[in-house]
Amino acid sequence: MSIVKVIEILAQSDKGWEDAVQQAVTEAAKTVRNIKSVYVKDFQAVVENNQVVSYRVTTKISFVLER
């Protein structure tokens, strides 16, 4: 039987939401092994002078615990 743990990561990118999600996974992978999925819980954007300047995501990253 596998045990899966879920952590919540917030990430930001100037390029777009997809890049923000990748940033979350990349950062989590620095300290977590066996990442199996990422669930995007929330999207946000920062607007300055009527232009989107930054994209933010709240993610839930799932990984299998090692025995």
Where do the structural domains in the chain lie, given as residue ranges? Answer: 4-64
The fold of the 4-64 domain, in CATH, is Dodecin subunit-like (3.30.1660)
Contact 15, 56 (CB under 8 A): no
Band of residue 2 on the pLDDT scale cut at 50, 70, 90 = confident
Q: Within 13 Å, how many C-alpha atoms sit on residue 64's CB side?
A: 6
pTM of the complete model: 0.89
Helix, strand, coil percentages for the chain (3-state, nearest 5): 20, 55, 25
Contact 60, 53 (CB under 8 A): no
Q: What is the pLDDT of residues 7-65, one digit of tens each?
A: 999 999 999 999 999 999 999 999 999 999 999 999 999 999 999 999 999 999 999 99
Contacts with 53 (C-beta within 8 Å, 6 or more apart), sequence order: 14, 46, 47
